[in-house]
Chains A and B, each alone.
Chain A
Amino acid sequence: ETGVTQSPTHLIKTRGQQVTLRCSSQSGHNTVSWYQQALGQGPQFIFHYYREEENGRGNFPPRFSGLQFPNYSSELNVNALELDDSALYLCASSFRRGPSDEQYFGPGTRLTVT
């Protein structure tokens, strides 16, 4: 069984640029959530996808967008990057059965915006 993977591991971008982060869900999982973890903070929920549709969103502006593909891999896109977007971005997948489901996290992508 393959776990959750994310790419790239690290990324450096310039303010105003756009970035795409990728996540490959654990085999058999049909939901994916994305979180932003600033240095020294807990993860903050960005949004999640279920069966390729956005199914819930946190307090993040529209320049944060995502996609989930039929094979349940997903992307997080961030436009017009700002310095405060520098963070560790985590994705988490699960197979939806109920709210006690365990979410399986990837190792994260460290984004630095200069």
Chain B
Amino acid sequence: AQTVTQSQPEMSVQEAETVTLSCTYDTSESDYYLFWYKQPPSRQMILVIRQEAYKQQNATENRFSVNFQKAAKSFSLKISDSQLGDAAMYFCAYRSPEGGSEKLVFGKGTKLTVNP
């Protein structure tokens, strides 16, 4: 079974600075999908960024980028120019390419605080 580990329960960053959130995962599959989700205090979870394992190029979405290291099974999220609205729980998630599988396997999350 796949597992996802987020080793940083809490992180803090100064507004306008850069922060990196860590995620490692365990799988025997060679193809899969990885996601970072953000859950603000209002609770509605939203997708931040996704990465297909077969793509070597790291995904980027505006101020958000990932460092995907397939051999190390590492998938970290970098947030540049941090804003107060970035404060939230961040969850790393894994999804198998198995046909019809909608299952996301989540880590325990990292609580990000942004200090003004």
A residues near B (Cβ < 8 Å) are 3, 31, 33, 35, 40-45, 48, 50, 55-56, 58, 88, 90, 92, 94, 96, 99-100, 102-103, 105-108
Contacts and interface: CB of A to CB of B under 8 A. Distances in A.
A61 B35 CA distance: 27
B45 A99 contact: no
B106 A31 contact: no
B21 to A, nearest CB: 13
Nearest to A100: B33
A39 B28 CA distance: 29
A55 B44 contact: no
A108 B42 CA distance: 10
Nearest to B96: A99
Contacts of B4: 42
A44 B46 contact: no
Interface string B23-53: 0000000001100010000111111001010
Contacts of A50: 100, 102
Given A42-B4, A99-B97, 17 more contacts: A42-B93, A43-B45, A43-B104, A48-B103, A50-B100, A55-B102, A56-B100, A92-B45, A99-B96, A99-B98, A100-B33, A103-B104, A105-B37, A105-B45, A105-B46, A107-B43, A107-B44
Contact of A48 (B33, B43, B46, B102): B102
Interface string B76-116: 00000000000000010101111011111111110000000
A31 B100 CA distance: 10
A50 B42 CA distance: 28
A107 B103 contact: no
Contacts of A42: 4, 6, 91, 93, 106-109
A70 to B, nearest CB: 19
